[in-house]
Amino acid sequence: MAKEGADMTEETEYMINRNVGKEPENVETTSDAKEMRAVILAGFGGLNKLRVTKKPMPELQDGEVKIRVKACGLNFLDLMVRQGTIDNPPKPPVVPGFECSGIIESVAENTAGFEIGDRVMAFVNYNAWAEVVCTPVDFVYKMPDEMTFAEAAAFSLNFVAAYMMLFEVANLREGMSVLVHSAGGGVGQAVAQLCSTVPNVTVFGIASCFKHTAIRDSVTHLFDRNIDYMQEVKKISPEGVDIVLDCLCGENTGKGLTLLKPLGTYILYGASNMVTGETKSFFSFAKSWWQVEKVNPIKLYEENKVIAGFSLLNLLFKHGKSSLVKSVMDKLLCLYDQKKIKPVVDSLWALEEVKEAMQRIHDRGNIGKLILDVEKAPTPLMASDSTETSEAGEEEEEPEGDNDSKERMPFIH
């Protein structure tokens, strides 16, 4: 049972009925009202495996809230999910996405703390890239009044992960130094902002050269990802650094461990070096794995170094640490209210433009977070490219690489 939105906000009502009347001959039926648009991953592989289609709305379960989605976050992990390079991937077809923001449309009985019409951001165990999601109340957080939906979709995963790695795992304190890879990405920019809340923290950022102008002021020292950054860091800090945050893996693991000071902490939170082409590459996977320096526990003991791994989604959905994440979110929202942190949004994309958005993150072209804006109208090019198909993905296969020849849409931010 659920308390359905008889008193639903005007904004939510508008969203539900926004397609009524566009086609006079197609009057919305009760069946149509129970359907929603969603991005479907029909199978693992290239961009041609993604389509926007209609599917039934999810049913509200005990302990859940139903959210009318306004914006969704797009992460490099979503690209790895599409390729099937993660451990235990879901069986397709599946709706990708792990975070969203929107308006609560209904609340299950015996669910406290939220009301219909609340503006919220939420974690979802897949299924976020849709017009409507249902998720347990433990993964839902109220948005500050001044926060936009795009900012909220860019906030939850990036800032919670950055905060927990810095303060829960590595115990960042005054006067320490941090090296962060992909400093221009969503997590990298969150790390830089959080480090600025602690006095005298030195941040060494690694990023593609073309991003340097945009992010130079966010870090203390900035290096091109294609140079020997180990030598550059040691010129400035001969003893190394206190914390290394690595989302690349491969050869960077050994470099990061080498750069650690005694009592320093290396944290691996991704493996983007395993992704090179549009589809899963066994060669890239094997190369990245081979390049990982074999960790000798005795050497760690002798050098007083710490190596750790961090996965926020596993912490939430597998390890049951939602209360810990909630406490971190409360601290982050206080920092947001104090205007000490603010999510960086790279660009907004319609659901139908998900292929182009994913290509941009594959090319490492983003500065900050890419957002899927559920209400944004697609360009004609993208609309024709993401024609609706069955949920099983029974569409004509596109030749790999076709997307490279297509015109790119202009970016908003």
Q: What is the pLDDT of residues 295-308, one digit of tens each?
A: 788 888 899 999 99
More confident: 27 or 81 = 81
Q: What is the mean pLDDT of residues 92-99?
A: 96
Tokens 């041609």, residue located: 48
User: Does 26 have pLDDT greater than 90?
Assistant: no
pLDDT value of position 392 = 38
pLDDT value of position 238 = 96
CB-based contact 70:375 (threshold 8 Å): yes
pLDDT band, residue 367 (cuts 50/70/90):
very high
pLDDT value of position 295 = 73
Contact partners, residue 303, CB within 8 Å, separation at least 6:
260, 262
pLDDT value of position 274 = 53
> Amino acid identity of 14?
Y
Closest CA to 168 of 313, 303, 312, 314: 312
- Summary mean pLDDT of the chain: 84
Output the 3-class SS for the chain: CEECCCCCCHHHHHHHCCCCCCCCCCCCCHHHHCEEEEEEECCCCCHHHEEEEEEECCCCCCCEEEEEEEEEEECHHHHHHHHCCCCCCCCCCECCCCEEEEEEEEEECCCCCCCCCCEEEEECCCCCCECEEEEEHHHEEECCCCCCHHHHHHHHHHHHHHHHHHHHHCCCCCCCEEEECCCCEHHHHHHHHHHCCCCCCEEEEEECHHHHHHHHHHCCEEEECCCCHHHHHHHHCCCCEEEEEECCCCHHHHHHHHHEEEEEEEEECCCHHHCCCCCCCHHHHHHHHHHCCCCCHHHHHHHCCEEEECCHHHHHHCCCCHHHHHHHHHHHHHHHHCCCCCCCEEEEECHHHHHHHHHHHHCCCCCEEEEEECCCCCCHHHHHHCCCCCCCCCCCCCCCCHHHHCCCCCCCC
User: Does 405 have pLDDT greater than 70?
Assistant: no
Percent of the chain with pLDDT over 90: 67
How many Å apart are CA 400 and CA 384, to the nearest integer?
18
Question: 239: how many CB neighbours lie within 10 A of its CB?
Answer: 12
User: CA-based Rg of the chain, rounded to a whole angstrom?
Assistant: 22
Question: 63: how many CB neighbours lie within 10 A of its CB?
Answer: 13
Which domains, and CATH codes, for the chain? 35-150 (3.90.180.10), 156-343 (3.40.50.720)
Q: What is the mean pLDDT of residues 124-128?
A: 96
How many Å apart are CA 251 and CA 271, to the nearest integer?
11
User: Does 409 have pLDDT greater than 50?
Assistant: no
E strand or H helix at 70: strand 64-74
User: Does 25 have pLDDT greater than 50?
Assistant: no
Percent of the chain with pLDDT over 70: 78
pLDDT value of position 356 = 95
pLDDT value of position 250 = 73
pLDDT value of position 93 = 94
Strands (E), 272-338: 306-309
pLDDT value of position 22 = 40
Q: What is the pLDDT of residues 260-281, one digit of tens each?
A: 999 999 999 987 645 445 554 5
Tokens 């199978």, residue located: 43
pLDDT value of position 349 = 97
User: How buried is residue 241: exposed, middle or buried, by Cβ count under 10 Å (0-12/13-18/19+)?
Assistant: buried
Q: What is the pLDDT of residues 31-52, one digit of tens each?
A: 456 899 999 999 999 999 999 9
- Classify strands 2-3 and 64-74 as parallel, antiparallel or unpaired: unpaired
Q: What is the mean pLDDT of residues 168-185?
A: 96
What is the token pair recorded at 245?
């945050």
Q: What is the mean pLDDT of residues 170-175?
A: 98
pLDDT band, residue 125 (cuts 50/70/90):
very high
Q: What is the pLDDT of residues 185-238, one digit of tens each?
A: 999 999 999 999 999 999 999 999 999 999 999 999 999 988 889 999 999 999
Rounding to the nearest 10 degrees, give the CA dihedral for residues 151, 325, 160, 285: -120
pLDDT value of position 271 = 72
Contact partners, residue 9, CB within 8 Å, separation at least 6:
103, 116, 117
Q: What is the mean pLDDT of residues 380-406?
A: 43
* String of DSSP letters for 128-139: -SBSEEEEEGGG
How many Å apart are CA 103 and CA 378, to the nearest integer?
22
pLDDT value of position 380 = 67
Q: What is the pTM of this model?
A: 0.82
Tokens 């970016």, residue located: 411
Q: What is the pLDDT of residues 55-67, one digit of tens each?
A: 999 999 999 999 9
Exposed e or buried b for every residue in 272-308, given b needs 16+ CB within 10 A? bbbbeebbbbeebbeebeeebeeeeeeeeeeeebbbe
What is the token pair recorded at 149?
């939906």
pLDDT value of position 315 = 96
pLDDT band, residue 102 (cuts 50/70/90):
very high
pLDDT value of position 272 = 60
